[in-house]
Amino acid sequence: MIIYGLNPVMEAIRSEPERVRYIGISREHGSKLQKVIAEAKKAGVAVRQLPPEQVDRLAGRGVHNGVVAEVSAGGYADFDDVVEREGTSFVLILDGITDPQNLGAILRVADGFGVDLVVLPEHDSVGLTPVAVKASAGASQWVPVAQVTNLSRTIERLQKGGYWVYGAAGGGDAPSAIDFTGKVALVLGNEGKGIRRNVLEHCDRIVTIPMRGHLESLNVATAAAVLCYEVRRAQQ
């Protein structure tokens, strides 16, 4: 897989250099990218000088800042392995997020608030695409992301492990009315449709962000930031 952009490439080198096959530097940007070149050489990662048009093509015309990297597959974590780790207590479940920009922004939130695991369904959901990786500004290299076949069964598995599962939807309780201490799993839904009914029915409780303006809801990544902050504030 090709990833692109200064921050995603830099964090890939720092977190898992063994997965980085090479980084490609645009010849017209070479003098501006000495830091990433030095980081690559320090980690033993090959550096290639490439024509600007080749970098454009590899990045799919995305905003690449003059640098791309080819990384090997295998970026998904094992759900059971992460959940069973001592210290894992905050899981973020994303039900049907389809916009890679939103997924990237949510991963950035997850890294900022110390989420231990992000869970995606295998179907009807965006995965760790180059666009999502770019939008995460490097966070995708640090936050474990697992794919599962069935979210309802995943929620049941977490509940048996002592987690309280909260679905973000309308008609629920404000975050201030909920005790987020202990093991918490937070479920966020599709950008337009929200959480699917069969998934929402498996949640222990519904949490709703109070809104005082003219719009009824927030962008899903913004909602993730608000609720992740509330969870971590309660757990301090």
CATH for 122: 3.40.1280.10
Q: Which domain holds residue 124?
A: 79-235
Whole-number pLDDT of residue 87: 92
The percentage of residues in the chain with a pLDDT greater than 90, rounded to a whole number, is 72
Among the candidates 51, 71, 91, a domain finishes at: 71
Residues 35 and 111 in one domain: no
Among the candidates 33, 48, 71, a domain finishes at: 71
Please give the mean pLDDT across all residues of the chain.
92
3-state secondary structure (DSSP) of residue 134: helix
Distance CA 66, CA 8 (A): 12
- Whole-model pTM: value is 0.83
Residues 195 and 132 in one domain: yes
**Residues with Cβ within 8 Å of residue 104, at least 6 apart in sequence:** 131, 132, 133, 134, 135, 136, 137, 139, 140
Residues 55 and 110 in one domain: no
Residues 171 and 56 in one domain: no
Q: Is the pLDDT of residue 138 over 90?
A: no
CA angle 110, 112, 118 (to 5 degrees): 15
Instruction: Check which CATH number belongs to the domain holding 10 and give it.
Output: 3.30.1330.30
**Residues with Cβ within 8 Å of residue 27, at least 6 apart in sequence:** 49, 50, 51, 52
Q: Is the pLDDT of residue 108 over 70?
A: yes
Whole-number pLDDT of residue 74: 59
Q: Which segments within 76-163 are labelled E, that is strand?
A: 90-95, 117-121, 145-148
Q: pLDDT-derived band of residue 30, with 50, 70 and 90 as boundaries?
A: low
Token look-up 């990384």 returns 71
Q: Is the pLDDT of residue 97 over 70?
A: yes
Residues 50 and 83 in one domain: no
The residue type of 108 is: R
| Joined tokens for residue 70 | 């080819």
Average pLDDT over residues 130-154: 92
Whole-number pLDDT of residue 217: 76
Count up the domains in the chain and report the number: 2
Among the candidates 21, 55, 71, a domain finishes at: 71
